[in-house]
Amino acid sequence: MRITAEEKEATRQRIEAAALELFRTRGFEATTTRDIAKAAQIATGTLFNYFVAKETIVAALAEEGLAKAHATVEKQPAAETLEESLFTLVAAELRQLRPLRKFITPVLETALCPLASATQNGEASLRVRHLETVARIARAHGVAENSPVAWQVYWSLYSGVLAHWAADKSPKQEDTLALLDNSLHMFAAWLQDAAAEPL
Amino acid sequence: MATVTELIAALPEEDLAIGSPSAKEISDVLSRASQQPVPVGRFRRLTALGTLQAKIGAAYLFHWLRGFFKSADENKRLLAETHWKTALRMLDSMTYLRGAVMKVGQTLATFPDIAPPEFVETLQKLHFDAPPMHWSLLKEMVNNELCDDPESVFASFDKQAFAAASLGQVHGATLKSGEEVAVKIQYPGIARAVESDFRNLTLFLLPARLTKDWESTKDQFADLSRRLALEADYELEAANLRKAAALFHEEDGIVIPRVYPQWSTARVLTMERLPGIHLREYLDTHPSQEERTEVGRKILRAWYRMMYAGKMFYVDVHPGNLLMMEGGRLGVLDFGFIMPIEGEEGELFRKMDRALTTGRIEDRLAANKEWCNLRDDETDRINLHEQYADWCWRPRYCGGVFDFGNETDFREGIRLFTEMFRRRYSRARPNTPAIARCQFAWRSMLYQLKAKINIRDIAEEEVKATGWDRSEYAE
Ligand SMILES: Nc1ncnc2c1ncn2[C@@H]1O[C@H](COP(=O)(O)OP(=O)(O)OP(=O)(O)O)[C@@H](O)[C@H]1O
Ligand 1 centroid to residue B333 C-alpha, Å: 6
B209 to chain A nearest CA, in Å? 32
Residue B131, pLDDT score: 41
Asked if B137 and A177 come within 8 Å (Cβ–Cβ), the reply is yes
Q: List, in order, residues 6 or more apart from B368 with CB less than 8 Å away.
A: B355, B374, B382, B385, B386, B389
**Whole-number average pLDDT of chain A:** 85
Rounded Cα distance, B299 and B372, in Å? 27
CB of residue B170 inside a 6 A radius of ligand 1:
yes
Higher pLDDT, B347 or B423: B347
Asked if B193 and A178 come within 8 Å (Cβ–Cβ), the reply is yes
* DSSP summary character for residue A42: S
Q: Where are the beta strands (DSSP E) in B229-336?
A: 254-255, 268-272, 312-314, 322-324, 330-332
Residue B173 has pLDDT above 50, yes or no: yes
What is the average pLDDT across B21-35? Answer: 39
Q: Are residues B91 and B213 in the same domain?
A: no
A40-68 pLDDT, tens digit per residue, is: 999 988 989 899 888 889 989 998 999 99
B39, B134, B266 member nearest A84 (Cβ): B134
A172 to chain B nearest CA, in Å? 7
Of A32, A52, A72, the last residue of a domain is A52
Ligand 1 centroid to residue B192 C-alpha, Å: 21
Q: Are residues A95 and A178 in the same domain?
A: yes
Neighbours of A58 (CB within 10 A): 24
Would you tell me which residues 60-79 of chain A have a C-beta closer than 8 angstroms to some C-beta of chain B? 79
Residue A91, pLDDT score: 96
The residue whose C-alpha atom lies closest to atom 31 belonging to ligand 1 is B163
What is the average pLDDT across B400-425? Answer: 80
Q: Are residues B94 and B212 in the same domain?
A: no
Q: What's at B93, amino acid-wise?
A: S
What is the average pLDDT across B160-169? Answer: 83
Range of the domain at B198: 193-227
Confidence of residue B35 (pLDDT cuts 50, 70, 90): very low
Residue B429, pLDDT score: 62
Query: Domain holding A38: CATH number?
Result: 1.10.10.60
How far is the CA of B169 from the CAs of A42, A79, B285, B475, in angstroms? Answer: 53, 20, 27, 51
Residue B24 has pLDDT above 60, yes or no: no
Residue B424 has pLDDT above 80, yes or no: no
Residue A151, pLDDT score: 81
What is the average pLDDT across B406-430? Answer: 72
Residue B198, pLDDT score: 60
What is the average pLDDT across A64-76? Answer: 90
Q: Nearest-CA residue of chain A relative to B134?
A: A84
The reply to whether B271 falls in a domain is: no
A158 lies within 8 A of chain B by CB = no
How many independent structural domains does chain B possess? Answer: 3
CB of residue B165 inside a 6 A radius of ligand 1:
yes
Residue B212, pLDDT score: 52
* DSSP summary character for residue A129: H
Residue B95, pLDDT score: 43
Rounded Cα distance, B311 and B349, in Å? 10
Residue B54 has pLDDT above 70, yes or no: no
Residue B466 has pLDDT above 80, yes or no: yes
Of B111, B128, B145, the last residue of a domain is B128
What is the average pLDDT across B110-122? Answer: 41
Q: Are residues A46 and A94 in the same domain?
A: no
Q: Are residues A118 and A152 in the same domain?
A: yes
Confidence of residue B19 (pLDDT cuts 50, 70, 90): very low
Residue A116, pLDDT score: 62
Q: Are residues A15 and A70 in the same domain?
A: no
Instruction: Please answer whether residues B293 and B454 qualify as being in contact, where contact means their C-beta atoms are separated by less than 8 angstroms.
Output: no
Q: Are residues A165 and A76 in the same domain?
A: yes
Confidence of residue A179 (pLDDT cuts 50, 70, 90): confident
Q: Are residues A14 and A78 in the same domain?
A: no
* % of chain A exceeding 70 in pLDDT: 88
The reply to whether B32 falls in a domain is: yes
* DSSP summary character for residue A98: G
Residue B216, pLDDT score: 53
Q: Helices B214-232 & B234-245, crossing angle to 10 degrees?
A: 80
Q: Are residues B428 and B297 in the same domain?
A: yes
Higher pLDDT, A160 or B21: A160
Range of the domain at A186: 58-196
What is the average pLDDT across A98-112? Answer: 85
Residue B98 has pLDDT above 90, yes or no: no
The DSSP result for B99-139, as a single string, is HHHHHHHHHHHT-TTTS-HHHHHHHHHHTTSPPS--HHHHH
Q: Are residues A78 and A138 in the same domain?
A: yes
What is the average pLDDT across B196-222? Answer: 55
Rounded Cα distance, A102 and B16, in Å? 53
Higher pLDDT, A88 or B209: A88
Residue B184 has pLDDT above 60, yes or no: yes
Of A52, A67, A84, the last residue of a domain is A52
Q: Are residues B343 and B423 in the same domain?
A: yes
Chain B residues interacting with chain A (CB cutoff of 8 angstroms): 39-42, 44-45, 95-96, 133-137, 140-141, 143-145, 187-190, 192-193, 266-267
B329-371 pLDDT, tens digit per residue, is: 999 999 988 888 988 888 888 888 998 898 898 888 888 888 7
Highest mean pLDDT among A122-131, A187-196, B232-241 belongs to B232-241
> B313: which strand partners?
B339
The reply to whether B436 falls in a domain is: yes
The reply to whether B259 falls in a domain is: no
Confidence of residue A112 (pLDDT cuts 50, 70, 90): confident
Residue A96 has pLDDT above 90, yes or no: yes
Asked if A177 and B189 come within 8 Å (Cβ–Cβ), the reply is yes
Residue B132 has pLDDT above 80, yes or no: no
Q: Are residues A164 and A74 in the same domain?
A: yes
Confidence of residue B109 (pLDDT cuts 50, 70, 90): very low
Residue B90 has pLDDT above 60, yes or no: no
Q: Are residues A64 and A146 in the same domain?
A: yes
Confidence of residue B433 (pLDDT cuts 50, 70, 90): low
Residue B147, pLDDT score: 95
Q: Are residues A36 and A64 in the same domain?
A: no
Q: Are residues A30 and A125 in the same domain?
A: no
ipTM of the complex: 0.81
Q: Are residues A136 and A162 in the same domain?
A: yes
Residue B148 has pLDDT above 80, yes or no: yes
Asked if B192 and A175 come within 8 Å (Cβ–Cβ), the reply is yes
Instruction: Please answer whether residues B276 and B324 qualify as being in contact, where contact means their C-beta atoms are separated by less than 8 angstroms.
Output: yes
Q: What's at B184, amino acid-wise?
A: K
Q: List, in order, residues 6 or more apart from A90 with CB less than 8 Å away.
A: A158, A161, A180, A184
Residue A155 has pLDDT above 80, yes or no: yes
Instruction: Please answer whether residues B61 and B87 qualify as being in contact, where contact means their C-beta atoms are separated by less than 8 angstroms.
Output: yes
Neighbours of B421 (CB within 10 A): 18
Residue B430 has pLDDT above 70, yes or no: no
Residue B303, pLDDT score: 95
Instruction: Please answer whether residues A176 and A94 qualify as being in contact, where contact means their C-beta atoms are separated by less than 8 angstroms.
Output: yes
What's the first-to-final CA gap in chain B, in angstroms? 67
The reply to whether B263 falls in a domain is: no
Residue from B441, B348, B345 nearest B392 by CA: B441
Residue A178, pLDDT score: 85
Q: Where are the alpha helices (DSSP H) in B12-116?
A: 13-16, 23-33, 42-49, 51-71, 74-93, 97-109
Q: Which of A162-171, B17-26, B94-103, B429-438 has the lowest mean pLDDT?
A: B17-26
* The model's pTM: 0.76
A32 lies within 8 A of chain B by CB = no
How far is the CA of B244 from the CAs of A90, B229, B276, B325, B345, in angstroms? Answer: 42, 20, 19, 18, 19
A95, A182, A193 member nearest B41 (Cβ): A182
Neighbours of B386 (CB within 10 A): 16
What is the average pLDDT across A180-186? Answer: 83
Residue B243 has pLDDT above 50, yes or no: yes
Instruction: Please answer whether residues B297 and B284 qualify as being in contact, where contact means their C-beta atoms are separated by less than 8 angstroms.
Output: no
Rounded Cα distance, A157 and B252, in Å? 55
Residue B39, pLDDT score: 32
The reply to whether B299 falls in a domain is: yes
Residue from B126, B433, B155 nearest B270 by CA: B155
**Whole-number average pLDDT of chain B:** 73
Rounded Cα distance, B127 and B374, in Å? 37
Q: Are residues B217 and B346 in the same domain?
A: no
Q: Are residues B63 and B199 in the same domain?
A: no
Of B128, B156, B174, the last residue of a domain is B128
The reply to whether B157 falls in a domain is: no
Residue B101 has pLDDT above 50, yes or no: no
How many independent structural domains does chain A possess? Answer: 2
Rounded (5°) CA angle B344-B350-B355: 130
What's the first-to-final CA gap in chain A, in angstroms? 62
Of B112, B128, B144, the last residue of a domain is B128
